[in-house]
Amino acid sequence: MTSGSPFAAFSFWPHLTSQQQQQLIRHTVTQSYPKGSLLHDGSTDCMGVLLVQQGKLRIYLLSEDGREVTLYRLSPGDLCILSASCALEAITFDIFIEAEVPTTLSRINAAIFQQVMEENIYLKAFSYQLIADRFSDVMWRMQQILFLGIDRRLACFLLEESASVQSPQIHLTQEQLAKHLGTAREVVSRMLKYFVDENMVTLFRGGVTITDEEKLRRLAPPSF
């Protein structure tokens, strides 16, 4: 078996032929992006399949009036397959991809990925399972937007982010929080003031500190 690929740890890799592995390796490049870089703007040609080596990506939708809604985020070791929309007929909507922090990616050429995927049932199954998992993430986000008030959505997001960074300190501005939640900064500002008054959080320049996790958790959805 061929080694030397950043994708070698994934379940489909041992089931590829040596030739297929070599194809993917030869057509994989590593690129780095500074914080705030827009990697994909919806109209951009296929980027290919992305593997986050370092940093964090935010995948979001953008409305006609400029409002952003975060669908999900990717950390080191995560794959982004929605960036290869031209290689997958199941993807019929445009997404935007932003580097939230300085980020390094490995990127497989979309056409080569599609070719190998059509040849190998293991890679195809892996790809569609990954799409299903991401769709589940998106549905969870849409359920929040449609059925939860902004207070519960903000509480849920703060708890998720705290768990992700393993710290009660969340280094996101109110503008960034608003983008994640798909609402206005003024709405987030008012809700955070309420959270502060209820002694659930404190604010610092550029972020939020959770001071009463249990109280915040009671505000979040029961299934959270």
161-173 pLDDT, tens per residue? 999 889 999 999 9
Q: Tokens for 65?
A: 């009036």
Average pLDDT over residues 85-107: 78
DSSP state of 36: T
pLDDT-derived band at 43 (thresholds 50, 70, 90) equals low
Name the residue among 80, 26, 72 with its Cα closest to residue 53: 80
- Rounded CA gap, 122 and 4, in Å? 20
- Rounded CA gap, 143 and 139, in Å? 6
DSSP state of 72: E
Q: What is the reported pLDDT for 212?
A: 94
- Rounded CA gap, 80 and 128, in Å? 12
Tell me: the pLDDT tens digits for 141-158? 787 777 788 999 999 999
- Rounded CA gap, 9 and 33, in Å? 24
- Mark residue 48 as left, alpha or beta (left: phi above 0; alpha: psi -120 to 50; beta: remaining): left
**Residue 65: exposure state from Cβ atoms within 10 A (0-12, 13-18, ≥19):** exposed
Name the residue among 87, 94, 82 with its Cα closest to residue 110: 87
Round the average pLDDT of the chain to a whole number and report it.
87
- Rounded CA gap, 72 and 179, in Å? 12
Average pLDDT over residues 93-98: 81
* pLDDT of 1 over the 60 cut: no
Share of the chain above pLDDT 70, in %: 91
Q: Where are the domains of the chain?
A: 13-145, 148-219
The yes-or-no answer to whether 13-145 and 148-219 have a common fold is no
The CATH number corresponding to 13-145 among 2.30.29.30, 2.40.40.20, 2.40.50.140, 2.60.120.10 equals: 2.60.120.10
**Who contacts 35 (Cβ-Cβ below 8 Å, separation ≥6)?**
99, 100, 101, 102, 103
Pick 104 or 87 by higher pLDDT: 104
Average pLDDT over residues 195-215: 94
What string of DSSP letters covers 87-131? G-TT--S--EEEESSSEEEEEE-HHHHHHHHHH-HHHHHHHHHHH
Please state which architecture CATH assigns to domain 148-219.
Orthogonal Bundle (1.10)
What string of DSSP letters covers 171-222? ---HHHHHHHHTS-HHHHHHHHHHHHHTTSEEEETTEEEES-HHHHHHHS-T
**Who contacts 18 (Cβ-Cβ below 8 Å, separation ≥6)?**
1, 2
- Rounded CA gap, 169 and 123, in Å? 39
Average pLDDT over residues 209-213: 95
